[in-house]
Copies of this chain bind each other. A is one copy, B any other.
Amino acid sequence: MADDTALRERTATLCRMLGRQGLIGMFGHVSLRVPGTSHVLLSPGAGSEKCEVRAKDIFVLDLDGTVLEHPAGRKVPAEWKIHTQIHRDRPDALSVVHLHAPYATLLGISGRELVPVFSHGAFLRTGVPVYDNPRLITTDAQAATLSRSLGQGIAVQMRGHGVCVAGVSAEAAFFACTFLEENARKQFEAASLGGARPLSPAEAADCAAANFSQYSFDLLWQYYEHKDEMADQLGCLAAPRGLS
């Protein structure tokens, strides 16, 4: 087996950072594909505190669903097929995340489309399709339908349930999760003020060209990695405040 130590660390860090943001909660999970292999590194399922997940807690699954490594005392996520299915269908997406992010979920519940309303949400301009089914994803058929809804996109709404995000890297997925949720929150809040004025197609294209890049992904990741270290030192679960 390839030396995937660094990738296991990154899977755990992604899980903790989303946990500290309050986006993943009890029921979310994240995965990274080991490049050039059929191995998927997957964070543990419900019952594990997401802000404490470490490399030793990471599952290794084969793309066919075989559990290659099962950390002691951890449960495989009930919805693990989300990950194997999307990794099979989207070899470009090295990272797949399933969140119960409050505001993104809220827009789904309310039947509202996610559209970019501020500069860091510009990447949403390619659209966020909706998987219109609140049930858990536990069958091959459900996973396949969800993956088809996602298509070649960055994110898919799961009505009455949550959201899935696909990224070319852990850092890309983290960026998309962070700003999808912030954009959703701004859309929610703007509704009380008569609604948001979305970015125009030209504005969104220019903003995304400027900020949806590996350079920005790395900056954001490092920024939150430091917050993660500080929260660890304080012994607390919640992420220190201050988003963008």
A residues lining the B interface (CB < 8 Å)? 19, 22, 24-27, 46-47, 49-51, 100, 105-107, 109-112, 117-119, 122, 133-136, 138, 159-161, 186, 188-197, 199, 203, 206-207, 210-211, 219-220, 222-223, 226-227, 230, 233-244
Q: In the complex the two chains form, is B109's CB within 8 Å of A49's CB?
A: no
Chain B nearest CB, measured from A77 CB (Å): 12
Which of B47, B122, B160 lies in contact with A119, CB distance below 8 A? B160
Cβ contact of A106, chosen from B50, B186, B227, B230, cutoff 8 A:
B186
How many Å lie between the Cα of A200 and that of B34 in the bound state? 40
User: Closest 3 CB pairs between A and B?
Assistant: A237-B240, A110-B193, A238-B241
Q: Once bound together, how far apart are the Cα atoms of A195 and B110, in whole Å?
A: 6
Task: Check if B110 sits within 8 Å of A197, measured CB to CB.
Answer: yes
Take A117-B109, A160-B203 as given contacts and tell me if A22 and B186 are in contact as well, using a CB distance cutoff of 8 Å.
no
The closest CB in chain B to the CB of A112 belongs to: B193
**CA of A242 to CA of B106, assembled, Å:** 16
> Once the chains bind, are B26 and A243 in contact (CB under 8 Å)?
yes
CB distance A106 to B240 under 8 Å? no
